[in-house]
Chains A and B, each alone.
Chain A
Amino acid sequence: MNNPIISITNLSKSYKVHNVLKNLNWQVEQGDIVALLGKNGAGKSTLLESIMNLREINQGEIKLWNHSWPALSQENREKIGFVAQDNVGFEWMRVQDFLAYLGGFFTHFDKNYCAKIIDGWGLNPKKKVADLSGGQKQILHVIQALSIKPELLILDEPVAHLDPSMRRKFISKLIDLSCEHNTTVIFSSHIISDLERIANKVALLKDGKINSYYEVEQLKSHIAYLKIQSDQPLEQSEYFNELSNWHSHAQGATASILSPLNKSLQQFIKESPHPIEITPMTLEDWYLEMNNEAI
């Protein structure tokens, strides 16, 4: 790992008797755009809010720029933008007042850049926050986070209330920001199609741990459904031990590739002791397979 901006070691967090995060280890590099996936209740918000120091962790260590929260400088603190899942409030303010008020907390708040983004999203700066729709309120908080030109941006389900065109705009803004300022972005989402457009890495939170953390392109080039052909039922041999969901049947077996293999897919097929038929797998299929929820 070259330059980790976030480094998490043995993080555990529980609510009463429910252990949400269990000895979680994770590192995120500078400039990455990471999509955090997980089922409802998997602990995505808990993890993101723990990174933001909004939750008290039971055990472990979270470091940003190689510093734990108490030792984090004011300068670094102001480089972090955060959008929570249910960001509501300040309903009585106008859009422009809201942005100016929260912007006042950040030294690098760029008023002109902010005005440009507001314009780009088509928000009326004179409008009351209370009069915005659910999606517009979400955008408002995203604008607030983007206006400080953050080096680290943490977004908890930022596109949940957005329509497809707004989501596209949001994605393009995030990509622009990441390119211009080398911003590291971590966002949780259930919309897998967005993930493919925007993220260069995907992390799956399962059973309180980061179960899988891959580069999106690498993952996409490997994942597939396989039909291994034979004239008799096949047991999972050593060659196939990287495959998941192995099911033997009369004409061989079926299985899935859910994580990048040690060799390329073509090479794997070529060297296989049995002929293999491949069916492509989308990231959504992969997500469902990983959570054992495939239909």
Chain B
Amino acid sequence: MKQFSRSIWMMLTHSVVSFLFVIAIIVFFTAFQIIISGDQTPTYKVILGALLINLTLSVFLGVYFAGGLQKLKQNYLWSINKKYKYTLLNAFLCLALIFNLLLLPVLYPNLKHMPLVLTLPFCVTVFSAYLVLGNNLLHRLLIPAIPLILIQLYRFNFSYNSIILSIIIATLILIVIMFLGNSYKRPQKQKSDTQKSIDSMNFATTGLSSKFVTNFNHILGKHLSKKLLKKGKNIDYAVIMPHSKLALFSLFYALLIIFAVLFVTHDGEKLIEAFSVLFLSTSLISLVMESRLLIRQTRTVAHLFKGTKHKQLKNNMLLALDKNIVFNAIVFILAILSLSYLFSISISTMQLSVITVLILSFALAFYPVLLCFQWVNISIQLILAICTYAAGIFLLLKNARSYFESENLMWYIIASLLVCILIRIITQTIFWHKPYEQLLKNK
């Protein structure tokens, strides 16, 4: 039992930022479901739309937990000790089940769809784990695609129940294969802390290899190399990855939202608004989390910057991050607006713009403090920081709602901006006073 609980803990915490992301996103998803379900019974289309969004999280859970499993598989015990292997697999399945159930609370009392709502996310998590666990590229692509292929059976007039049944059977077969197969993972070369620090948060903390991240960024970097050669103390590329610099994730999130919204007929505007809040607030912070791991790259040139406690260097870093956060937020919101226009989804440009300004302001005000913490696995600091961030955004947006129709909206925005400036002064001062040597130890 002790080994089982240890395995669970290791899979949960093998990458602290992802765990944070899981918790944050589950809270947001649940809150979102409460909002859209409201007092009325949600329609089938709404359930389907929400389920689809939940499935993206199920994929993430599969990839994340499999990332932890993959690390533990590298121990030689996996291949010679069945107890070790079975404990890990049980822990993985247990986590997949619990977290998927957490995502699907009693919000949909519509029993007709319960088998779909309850089973599909778990099955998707098991299949998507093969994005990481697959022995080769073919496995990694084909196995996770199985549920998608089976769902297509409805085109050939297969009944809803038979499709669900076939997905469940396929999942069971996959689980049996997991237990019976060997699939020992040869240990990767030991990574130093510094090497880990260059792994991008957006990819690598999910368990995807840093090689993939590097290759992806290398391709982008080739096109950016002219900028790289620009003379002067341009610290941007030392603290920001090319994929973040080009706001690729913001575009991806925007596409994801529009894709999800296309599946529902009503409440499109509500959905876009809710998901914009969710993705914008998490993606802006994920940029910061990525950068805090990259700060170490500035060490070679840190001595060139003047000021006590490396103030000039720290200001350069903040400026680079500020520009990047603003750019990502603008790209995100422009993408949402353009795609909504393209797919004729009606949304309130004004409301969305206000939401963006408020989230962006709070993110800019709050993030310097996130660069300061020393986080080793799960810490109280980490939880407090993220709760404060979420609470700040929640309060700003909650109050903004009551002003949307009012002529005092502008005053509310100005007041919010002033509060954010005040918060920024405090967080920036904390960041200035943080010893540079401690920033270099960020993990």
Return B307 CB to nearest CB of chain A, in Å. 8
User: How many Cβ-Cβ contacts under 8 Å join chain A to chain B?
Assistant: 109
Question: A88 touching B195 by the CB < 8 A rule?
Answer: yes
Q: Is B229 an interface residue (CB 8 A)?
A: yes
Interface residue tally for chain A (C-beta within 8 Å): 35
How far apart are A83's CB and chain B's nearest CB, in angstroms?
Answer: 8
The answer to whether A54 and B242 have CB atoms under 8 Å apart is no
Whether A97 and B221, one on each chain, are in contact in the complex, defined by CB atoms closer than 8 angstroms, is: yes
In the bound complex, CA of A10 to CA of B143 (Å): 64
Whether B217 pairs with A92 at a CB distance below 8 angstroms is yes
Contact of A106 among B302, B304, B310, B436 (CB under 8 A): B304
A201 on interface, CB distance cutoff 8 Å: no
Contact A128 B229 (CB under 8 A): no
1/0 per residue, CB under 8 A from A, across B216-242: the answer is 111011100100111111100110011
Q: A54-B437, A104-B229 in contact; A91/B214 too (CB < 8 A)?
A: yes
Q: Which residues of A contact B210 (CB under 8 A)?
A: 91
Instruction: Tell whether B306 is near chain A: CB-to-CB under 8 Å.
Output: yes
Instruction: State whether A97 touches B228 (Cβ < 8 A).
Output: yes
Partner of A82, one of B216, B234, B303: B303
Q: Mark A90-112, 1 if CB is under 8 A from B, else 0.
A: 11111001001110111000000
Contact of A74 among B230, B304, B309, B437 (CB under 8 A): B304
A53/B302 in contact, CB under 8 A:
yes
| Inter-chain contacts of A94 with B (CB < 8 A) | 218, 221-222, 225
Interface-facing stretch out of B62-70, B152-160, B283-291, B292-300: B292-300
Chain B residues with CB under 8 Å of A265's CB are: none
Interface size class of B (residues with CB under 8 A): 35 or more
A55 at the interface (CB under 8 A from B): yes
Closest approach, in angstroms, between the C-beta of A137 and any C-beta of chain B?
Answer: 10
* Residues 376-390 of chain B, each 1 if its beta carbon lies under 8 Å from chain A, else 0: 000000000000000
When each residue 57-73 of chain A gets 1 if its CB lies under 8 Å from chain B and 0 otherwise, what string results? Answer: 00000000000001000
Q: How far is the CA of A136 from the CA of B97 in the complex (A)?
A: 46
**Complex contacts, A86 vs chain B, CB 8 Å:** 192-194
Smallest CB-CB separation from A109: which chain B residue?
Answer: B231
A198: Cβ under 8 A from any B Cβ: no
Contact A55 B217 (CB under 8 A): no
A104 to B296, Cβ gap below 8 A?
Answer: no
* A130-B211 in contact (CB<8A): yes
> Complex formed: what's the CA distance from A77 to B312 in Å?
14
The interface residues of chain B lying within 8 Å CB-to-CB of A56 are: 309, 435-437
Is A84 within 8 A of B300, CB to CB?
yes
Nearest A residue to B309 via CB reads: A56
By a beta-carbon cutoff of 8 Å, the part of chain A in contact with chain B is 49, 52-56, 70, 74, 77-78, 80, 82-84, 86-94, 97, 100-102, 104-106, 128, 130, 141, 144-145
